[in-house]
Amino acid sequence: MKPEDVKPASIAAQALGWIDDQSKAIVAPLHTSTTYIRDPDNQYRTGRTYARDHNPSFDQPEAVLTALERGHASLLFSSGMAAATAVFQALTPGDHVVAPKVMYWSLRNWLMNFATHWGLRVEFIDMGNAAEVERAVRPGATKLVWIESPANPLWTITDIAHAAEVAHRAGAIVAVDSTIASPVLSQPLTLGADIVMHAATKYLNGHSDVVAGTLTTREDSALWQRIRSIRAQLGGIAGPFEAWLLTRGMRTLFVRVRAACASAQSMAEHFAQHPRIEKVLYPGLPDFPGHAIAKRQMHGGFGGMLSICVRGSGSRSGEQAAIATAANVRLWKRATSLGGVESLVEHRASVEGAGTPAPSNLLRLSVGIEDTGDLIADLEQALEQ
């Protein structure tokens, strides 16, 4: 079998099949050293000088991700936020940026409260609307179009290929937060994106025990080198143990994501008909706006994330009903975050506060890999109470 014929699921399961040179171990050792020996003639032939930039613990997870995303190179960061903000910090004050109104709220807050302060001109638009993308991108002025697809917490789908075409025509680049899709379902670089970002804290690691982030680039560029320097200079790097755990987590990425997708699809279809539910938001439902685009750019499922809008009844508002439903789950865990093996439920408006696009009766569901029937039954009993 030729190396280029190996399927992504096999690449992930074997973490590229790396063998440790010295011990012949099939699991890489953990490198905790912060520094590396200099040759007697004053050279650094290994290319490694200091762990803030050249940590061998990053080599394997970065290489696995580069292969899965079909990119040129990857960088591992201390968190998804560290990875995402490095892209914006690599721009120049005055640059125009187009970003979605519906996106991970903490990054939206940072863009509104810090990036604009620093001089970026950030324009928030409905990224699910192709005409708005065309209107907002300004030739010569726009330097970056930031996409999240599907986007938290309404799961808005952006047509990545179309946005890339519009951005490139205007001289801008496209970066995609693909945390929710994961490399199992979507490879934004093959759709024309320039950079793909993951909160590796979520599906890539998958076990709710690592905070990390990643960027992968389609090609080497001056911008990519600036991002590399930002990581080295600001030091937003993952620890060696986190990097090691992330490689271990990615070995099971495909089975976890496929199981979560199948379960989420069944749950979305089940609860779409439920009398206590006003609306189910899930890209896998045929009447979901963006379903046709999702079908084109996601393969093998529509993700493990969905939201339900709970109906009020009698004197109880939809918001009260949603919070009461979350209070009554037994198997689901009432917690923030997503992409782990355990299913989580969260009243999103309570987390995001003012300015959230989440309706007050919305519960965000991160579907794990438990038995689908158990998950449905638990939510059913919580809705009944």
Ligand X SMILES: Cc1ncc(COP(=O)(O)O)c(C=O)c1O
Q: Between residues 148 and 159, which has the closer beta carbon with respect to ligand X?
A: 148
Least spacing, CB of residue 344 vs ligand X, in Å: 11
Q: Between residues 83 and 268, which has the closer beta carbon with respect to ligand X?
A: 83
Token pair 């999240």: residue: 148
Angstrom distance (rounded) from CA 27 to CA 231: 26
Starting from the edge strand earliest in sequence, which strands make up the sheet with 173-177, in order? 73-77, 213-217, 195-199, 173-177, 142-148, 96-100, 121-125
Q: Between residues 337 and 381, which has the closer beta carbon with respect to ligand X?
A: 337
Q: Residue 377 has which token pair?
A: 């039954």
Of 231, 193, 200, 236, nearest to 90 (Cα)?
231
Cα dihedral 60, 63, 67, 73 in deg (nearest 10): 160
Q: Which residues have a Cβ under 8 Å from the Cβ of 93 and sit 6 or more positions away?
A: 118, 119, 120
CB atoms within 10 A of CB 336: 11
Given 16, 28, 67, 81, the residue binding ligand X (CB under 6 A): 81
Given 64, 199, 243, 358, the residue binding ligand X (CB under 6 A): 199
> Which stretch in 54-62, 177-185, 243-251, 265-273 sits in contact with ligand X by CB under 6 A?
177-185
36 is a catalytic site residue: no
Which single residue brings its beta carbon nearest to ligand X?
80
Q: What are phi and psi of 75, to 5 degrees?
A: -130, 135
Least spacing, CB of residue 312 vs ligand X, in Å: 28
According to CB under 6 A, which residues from 341 to 370 bind ligand X? none
Angstrom distance (rounded) from CA 127 to CA 139: 18
According to CB under 6 A, which residues from 204 to 223 bind ligand X? 211, 213
202 is a catalytic site residue: yes
Given 58, 104, 302, 332, the residue binding ligand X (CB under 6 A): 104
Site string for ligand X, 4-33 (x = CB under 6 A): ------------------------------
Q: Between residues 180 and 383, which has the closer beta carbon with respect to ligand X?
A: 180
CB atoms within 10 A of CB 117: 9
The CA distances from residue 309 to 153, 290, 319, in Å, are: 11, 18, 9
State yes or no: residue 179 binds ligand X (CB under 6 A). yes
Kindly determine how many residues on this chain lie close enough to bind ligand X according to the rule CB under 6 A.
17
Q: Chain-centre distance of CA 104, in angstroms? A: 9
169 is a catalytic site residue: no
Site string for ligand X, 305-334 (x = CB under 6 A): ------------------------------
Catalytic residue list: 52, 104, 177, 202
Site residues (CB under 6 A) for ligand X? Answer: 79-81, 104, 107, 148, 152, 177, 179-180, 199, 201-202, 211, 213, 337-338
